[in-house]
Chains A and B, each alone.
Chain A
Amino acid sequence: MAAKTNVQQLQKAGIIAAKHNLTEADQAKVNGLTDNEVSALISARQKLGDALLKKTAKGGKFPHPDSFSY
Chain B
Amino acid sequence: MQTNSQRLRGKIELVRPRLRQAAGEVWHHPRLAELFPELLATVHSVIRATVPTLKTAEECARARAAEDPVCAGMVEYLAAHAVEEKDHDEWTLDDLETLGVKREDAWARVPSPAAAALVGVQYYWMRHVHPVAYLSYQAIMENPPSPEFLEQAVERTGLPREAFATQFLHATVDPHHVADFDRLVDSLPLNEWHHSILGVNAFQSVELLAQVYEDLLCRFETKIRDGA
Contact = CB atoms under 8 A, between A and B. Distances in A.
A47 B88 CA distance: 33
Q: Determine the interface band of chain A, counting residues with CB < 8 A from chain B.
A: 35 or more
B214 interface: no
Interface in B149-193: 149-150, 152, 167, 170-171, 174, 192
Contacts, number: 128
Given A58-B28, A70-B50, A29 B149 contact: no
Contacts of A52: 14, 17
Dominant SS among interface residues on chain A: loop
Given A37-B200, A44-B204, A51 B46 contact: no
Given A46-B15, A68-B47, A34 B24 contact: no
Dominant secondary structure of chain B at its interface with chain A:
helix
Interface string B76-95: 00000000010010000000
A57 interface: yes
Nearest to A43: B204
A46 B140 CA distance: 16
Interface in A23-60: 26, 29-30, 33-34, 36-37, 39-41, 43-48, 51-55, 57-60
Interface of B: 10-11, 13-25, 27-28, 43, 46-47, 50, 85, 88, 140-146, 148-150, 152, 167, 170-171, 174, 192, 195-196, 199-200, 203-204, 206-207, 209
The 9 closest A-B CB pairs, nearest first, are A58-B24, A65-B145, A64-B27, A69-B170, A51-B17, A62-B149, A37-B199, A44-B207, A66-B23
